[in-house]
């Protein structure tokens, strides 16, 4: 009897301490770690893409005119980023809706790079290439650009060297590791554009260096034209007001 009650209290002790340990972690937003590896730093890559001298405060970077805000990578209850109306407090895994211009901005990797998505849903993955780049490492001048019109939820993805990595971590075959870090960009483009920078890690977690600059892609999404806005009515006007605050 004595041994059983000892066991029982040990059992409940483990259960309670697990709950206490797990509870705060489950509710927290989080960033994926990334590391510099001797290749150009995030500061110099941002300078190469947008010009100016960059500095950082925490996870965000600025050159005085343009600021890039790190987007969260994971949390307990993940929601989609609306590519037009999202912000840095979203999670960069599942994306939704909009008309966007996609531009390859930089590559620092030996492998050829392909960037794509899975138009029409998040499962199965069904990779569809949007653009590819096989040039040398560096900022890409006049790089490949493609326009897309997106309806519904989708994932971004890359296909380097026969592998396939998705913005949604649980889709990745190397144990659900994160291959994408994302910034919300302020101060670039037209007033009615929402701009994102996607930084990809191209190797499986067994051999990666986690520098997350192997392929860098910019997304510029536009809010609807005024004619469409009129049809959308008050919802559209509310969106416009929010964007111009």
Chain contacts with Ca ion (rule: CB under 5 A)? 73, 92, 108-109, 178, 180, 201, 209, 211, 214
Structural element, H or E, at residue 238: helix 234-244
Cα 66 to Cα 21, 100, 142, 189, 201: the distances in Å are: 39, 20, 20, 10, 24
Considering the complex, state which of residue 201 and residue 218 has its C-beta at the smaller distance from Ca ion: 201
Considering the complex, state which of residue 25 and residue 227 has its C-beta at the smaller distance from Ca ion: 25
Least distance (Å) between residue 165 CB and Ca ion:
10
CB atoms within 10 A of CB 74: 16
Q: Two tokens at 214? A: 């192997």
Considering the complex, state which of residue 169 and residue 223 has its C-beta at the smaller distance from Ca ion: 169
CB atoms within 10 A of CB 11: 10
Considering the complex, state which of residue 178 and residue 218 has its C-beta at the smaller distance from Ca ion: 178
SS3 53: coil
Q: Pick left, alpha or beta for residue 135 (phi over 0 → left; psi -120 to 50 → alpha; otherwise beta).
A: beta
Least distance (Å) between residue 125 CB and Ca ion:
16
Least distance (Å) between residue 80 CB and Ca ion:
14
Q: Two tokens at 227? A: 């004619």
Least distance (Å) between residue 37 CB and Ca ion:
7
Considering the complex, state which of residue 163 and residue 209 has its C-beta at the smaller distance from Ca ion: 209
Least distance (Å) between residue 3 CB and Ca ion:
48
Least distance (Å) between residue 72 CB and Ca ion:
8
Runs of H (alpha helix) within the chain: 2-27, 42-50, 226-232, 234-244
Considering the complex, state which of residue 214 and residue 218 has its C-beta at the smaller distance from Ca ion: 214
Give 125: exposed, middle or buried? Use CB within 10 Å, 0-12, 13-18, 19+.
Answer: middle
């Amino acid at each position: 009897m004595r041994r059983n009650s000892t066991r029982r209290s040990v059992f409940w002790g483990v259960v309670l301490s697990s709950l206490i340990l797990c509870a705060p972690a489950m509710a927290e937003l989080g960033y994926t770690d990334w590391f510099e590896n001797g290749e150009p730093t995030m500061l110099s890559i941002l300078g190469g893409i947008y010009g100016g001298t960059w500095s950082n405060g925490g996870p965000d970077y600025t050159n005085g005119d343009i600021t890039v805000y790190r987007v969260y990578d994971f949390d307990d209850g993940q929601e989609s980023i609306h590519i037009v109306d999202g912000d840095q407090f979203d999670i960069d895994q599942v994306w939704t809706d909009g008309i966007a211009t996609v531009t390859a901005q930089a590559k620092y990797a030996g492998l050829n790079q392909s960037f794509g998505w899975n138009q029409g849903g998040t499962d199965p993955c069904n990779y569809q290439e949007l653009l590819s780049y096989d040039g040398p490492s560096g900022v890409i001048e006049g790089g490949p650009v493609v326009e897309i019109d997106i309806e519904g939820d989708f994932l971004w993805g890359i296909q380097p060297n026969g592998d396939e990595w998705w913005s949604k971590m649980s889709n990745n075959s190397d144990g659900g590791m994160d291959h994408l870090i994302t910034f919300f960009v302020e101060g670039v483009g037209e007033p009615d554009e929402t701009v994102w920078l996607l930084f990809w890690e191209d190797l499986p977690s067994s051999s990666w260096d986690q520098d997350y600059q192997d392929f860098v892609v910019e997304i510029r999404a536009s809010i609807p034209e005024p004619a469409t806005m009129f049809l959308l009515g008050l919802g559209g006007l509310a969106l416009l007001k929010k964007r111009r605050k």
